[in-house]
Structure 1
Amino acid sequence: MKIKFTFFILSIFISFNSIAQSTASSNVSHFEIEAPQLDIIKKIWIYLPKSYSNSDKRYPVIYMHDAQNLFDNKTSFVGEWKVDEALDSPDSKEAIIVGIEHGGDKRIDELTPFPHEKYGGGKANAYLDFLLENLKPHIDSTYRSLPGYENTGIFGSSLGGLISFYAALKYPESFGMIGAYSPSFWFNDKIYDFTEEAELNPNTKFYFLAGTAESEEMVPDLKKMIGLLMEKGMKTENFKLKYVEGGEHNETMWSKNFPETYLWLMQK
């Protein structure tokens, strides 16, 4: 009965999404690019600032995971982040947003640096190699980007928060702005050993966010990681930690807090 009920709910979701209207801004588009490291063709969503078509400006770039949930309610699972609406706001700062669609049943593989004994995974290095060796060069050669470290960000939630954090330490000269929402540090404790041994770029900006109503481990795990970063010399002015009272592990919390996080990361 439980399996049938779950299938019924999933069927309703699929049917609803098939007829739902797109909520993506007109300046959001898509393209596909080969990811040989993952043996797949990746669908990429890209948001261009409103001024892009009538200026010669160059823009910072933020790479974000789970693109299906960023711009369009039609493709999101339980609600979109409304990233395009946030950046279209007249009070926002301009940037190019590159959303990478997750790999469906390969999502755990792609977004985790170390495997879990039950859930598997652990192929984040291949995913990041694709991002840095294939996707970023394409973006920098095709669009008017600011390619330097200080103008390149990586941002995600849950497993996306985990890999964004990992990328900052794995490639300290590649990503200068890090958004890590509800990072899944629980997935494998090796992330703490990796952090202790990794090189930290003291100029990297980190924004961490967690809800107090997520899991019992979320807040303690995040506090533990912040402690390690402070021991490694993370500058207090270059990180922000926000706890959302009653916040749950979902798009509602992440979407609501995205504009504030984005503006903080973009401050120079």
Structure 2
Amino acid sequence: MIIEVFIPEHYDPDTAYPLLLLNDGEDMFGEGSWNMDRVLQGVISDQKIRPVIAAAIYNQGQRMNWYIPYEDRWITTNWGPYTPNASEYAQDIFDYVIPYMDENYSIDTTEVAILGASLGGLISTWMGLKFPEKIKYSAGLSGSLWVADYSIFSEVEGSYDSGQKFWFDIGTNEWNYYVPLYRELDQRGVIPGQNNFYYEVPGGAHIPSDWLQRIHLPLVAFFSSMENSEPESLEVVLECIPSQSTPGLYFRRLNPIVILTNGVEYSLAHTASYSVLSGEAGLGTEGSFKNNPQTEIEILVEYDSLSETVNVPIGWCP
């Protein structure tokens, strides 16, 4: 495996640093890339996160083989053949990358994170679910969780009681429905807002420029320099999301986004409560709703001590 390493300014070899693993390492550091070295140093210098050491792992042209854990006929038909070697990729990280970093740098092997986008987000989330004893934090930005008909949703098993944290997000311009994974983790005791973060990004697209606008959020969620963080404000975004598979079908949603005192923002989905104040609407438990577009409705969204009333005007959303 080929890696590039980021070391924070004022590196102290007598201090053990969390280790951040970055998929698609070719695209991570330097100008013309994600510039993650600058991003990391920026959030460290601003004291938004504790200093970390990062290892960017090159995919070496093996993205599909290394990052996809499952057989998927659609991928084979549309993208070409591949061999699902996610388990081998993970094992190489455990056998070679982490030991190399431990031998050459001062890292805390109990605080290992992995982050990636798209297929890199899929493998990050998969490794966090499958190896909680080795991966403490996992972040998937626009992760391709749809692979093999969302098979990853069934991977939530075992124990996550050692402080594991999960971050996954999706833009509404690429929308897939990831709330079930959010709920599954919640039901396993991975607490939303503490260890479990799902962010439904209004208008977000499947492009690096959009990922970079929010890349600091999982970093702060994992490595915040604040000891405690509490809900500070609530914004409810009214969404009309076109189906990716059925032309003319739209999903009506309330997306309540809470902002914590450390700056992390994420969607509440099923953790908020919803009630109709006026008009008629059928409410889902996670923010979805059905209504007659020819009538006006008001919906109250509540979470903790925060609340917001949302007005749905006549004629909104086809």
TM-score range normalised by the length of the shorter chain: 0.7 to 0.9
User: Does the 8 A contact of 2:117 with 2:143 survive in 1?
Assistant: yes
Which of 189, 205, 215 is matched with 1:248 structurally? 205
CA distance in 2, matches of 1:127, 1:173: 17
**Structure 1 spans left out of the alignment, 5+ residues:** 1-41, 75-79
Q: Taking structure 1 as reference, are residues 159 and 200 closer, same or farther at Cα in structure 2, changes over 3 Å only?
A: farther
Q: How many residues get paired?
A: 212
The 3-state SS of whatever aligns with 2:9 is: coil
The 3-state SS of whatever aligns with 1:155 is: strand
Paired residue type of 2:46: D
Aligned residue in 1 for 2:196:
239
CA distance in 1, matches of 2:187, 2:83: 29
Aligned residue in 2 for 1:86:
39
Q: Taking structure 1 as reference, are residues 72 and 227 closer, same or farther at Cα in structure 2, changes over 3 Å only?
A: same
Q: Of Structure 1 and Structure 2, which has the larger fraction of its residues in strand? A: 2
TM-score with structure 2 setting the length: 0.63
* Structure of larger gyration radius: 2
Aligned residue in 2 for 1:51:
10
1:156 and 2:151 equivalent? no
CA distance in 2, matches of 1:256, 1:134: 32
CA distance in 2, matches of 1:188, 1:82: 32
How much is the aligned-residue C-alpha RMSD, in angstroms?
Answer: 1.7
Deviation string for 1:112-170 (max 9, x for gaps)?
Answer: 1112124234110000000001111111011111111xx21111111111111111121
Which of 99, 108, 128 is matched with 1:137 structurally? 99
CA distance in 1, matches of 2:217, 2:181: 22
CA distance in 1, matches of 2:31, 2:100: 27
User: Does the 8 A contact of 1:247 with 1:253 survive in 2?
Assistant: yes
Paired residue type of 1:132: F
**Structure 2 spans left out of the alignment, 5+ residues:** 77-81, 228-318
CA distance in 2, matches of 1:98, 1:62: 6
What does 1:58-137 correspond to in 2, within 5 Å?
Answer: 58-74=16-32, 80-89=33-42, 90-92=45-47, 93-104=50-61, 106-117=62-73, 118-119=75-76, 120-137=82-99
User: Does the 8 A contact of 1:169 with 1:200 survive in 2?
Assistant: no
Aligned residue in 2 for 1:199:
158
Q: Taking structure 1 as reference, are residues 200 and 155 closer, same or farther at Cα in structure 2, changes over 3 Å only?
A: farther
CA distance in 2, matches of 1:184, 1:126: 19
Q: Of Structure 1 and Structure 2, which has the larger fraction of its residues in helix? A: 1
CA distance in 2, matches of 1:185, 1:121: 18
User: Does the 8 A contact of 1:211 with 1:248 survive in 2?
Assistant: yes
Aligned residue in 1 for 2:179:
223
Distance apart, 1:200 and its partner CA: 3.7
Q: Taking structure 1 as reference, are residues 200 and 163 closer, same or farther at Cα in structure 2, changes over 3 Å only?
A: farther
CA distance in 1, matches of 2:218, 2:20: 12
User: Does the 8 A contact of 1:209 with 1:243 survive in 2?
Assistant: yes
Distance apart, 1:44 and its partner CA: 0.5
Paired residue type of 2:16: R
Distance apart, 1:260 and its partner CA: 2.6
The 3-state SS of whatever aligns with 1:185 is: coil
Q: Taking structure 1 as reference, are residues 57 and 194 closer, same or farther at Cα in structure 2, changes over 3 Å only?
A: closer
CA distance in 2, matches of 1:173, 1:55: 25
Distance apart, 1:239 and its partner CA: 1.5
Deviation string for 1:90-132 (max 9, x for gaps)?
Answer: 214310011101121x210100111212423411000000000
TM-score with structure 1 setting the length: 0.74
Deviation string for 1:49-92 (max 9, x for gaps)?
Answer: 1112x653221101110012211234xxxxx3221112222214
